[in-house]
């Protein structure tokens, strides 16, 4: 319960929250349980009402890596879970945040390289200028969303790649989410 609270809220639970979640009556009973966990080496109590630290547990929130997405020509992005990454909850506070592994070099001038992981905040829309994960005709790609006159464009950040025009009437176009960060991890 303490691990889940830290992972979801970025802070340990209070004694009252522990009592309520664990259906324990009284703060004294919670304190006894916490003291037993501390004696056994599972928990460290610090100062303050929320001064609890689970020992041997990495701090963070697990974000799933749902597959690969092109940063080049669009390719089908199958939700193929490749694993997960433990990140600080402050970096990804959105429900259903996910990571995608980048394939290609079309976003290199924006600092997104082949093999990087992009952190995506799921949302159906974005403002012009934002970097998005978008679906067009059943294929997914990471590009900068640009509005030009009455058209949307998916613009690469590498002059060697072409802009992808999207018509407003294109029923197959949709934004899956906004890119909120980039992780460059060796060997993943």
Dist CA 4 CA 10 (whole Å): 9
Residue carrying structure tokens 């689970």: 54
Enumerate residues 6+ apart whose C-beta is below 8 A from 111. 182
Tokens for 184, please give them.
Answer: 């460059």
Phi and psi at residue 5, to the nearest 5°: -65, -45
Q: Give the residue from 122, 183, 129, 123 showing the smallest Cα distance to 155.
A: 129
Choosing from 108, 121, 143, 178, the catalytic residue is 143
Is 143 a known active-site residue? yes
- Token readout for 73 is 């020509």
- Report the run of H or E that residue 147 belongs to, with start and end: strand 139-148
Alpha carbon distance 53, 42 (integer Å): 9
> Is residue 106 among the annotated active site residues?
yes
Given the residues 106, 108, 155, 178, select the one marked as catalytic: 106
Active site residues: 106, 143
């Amino acid at each position: 319960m303490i691990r889940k609270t830290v992972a979801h809220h970025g802070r340990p639970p209070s004694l009252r929250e522990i009592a309520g979640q664990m259906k324990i009556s009284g703060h004294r009973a919670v304190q006894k349980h916490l003291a037993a966990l501390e004696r056994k080496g599972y928990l460290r109590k610090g100062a303050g009402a929320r001064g609890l630290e689970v020992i041997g547990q990495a701090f963070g929130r697990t974000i799933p890596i749902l597959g690969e997405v092109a940063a080049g020509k669009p390719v089908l992005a199958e939700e193929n879970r490749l694993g997960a990454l433990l990140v600080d909850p402050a970096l990804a506070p959105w429900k259903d945040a996910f990571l995608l592994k980048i394939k290609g070099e079309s976003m290199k001038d924006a600092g997104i390289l082949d093999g990087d992981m992009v952190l995506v905040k799921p949302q159906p829309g974005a403002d012009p200028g934002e970097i998005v994960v978008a679906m067009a005709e059943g294929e997914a790609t990471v590009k900068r969303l640009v509005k030009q006159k009455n058209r949307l464009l998916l613009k690469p950040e590498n002059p060697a790649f072409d802009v992808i025009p999207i018509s407003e009437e294109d029923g197959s176009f949709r934004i899956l989410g906004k890119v909120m960060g980039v992780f460059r991890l060796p060997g993943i």
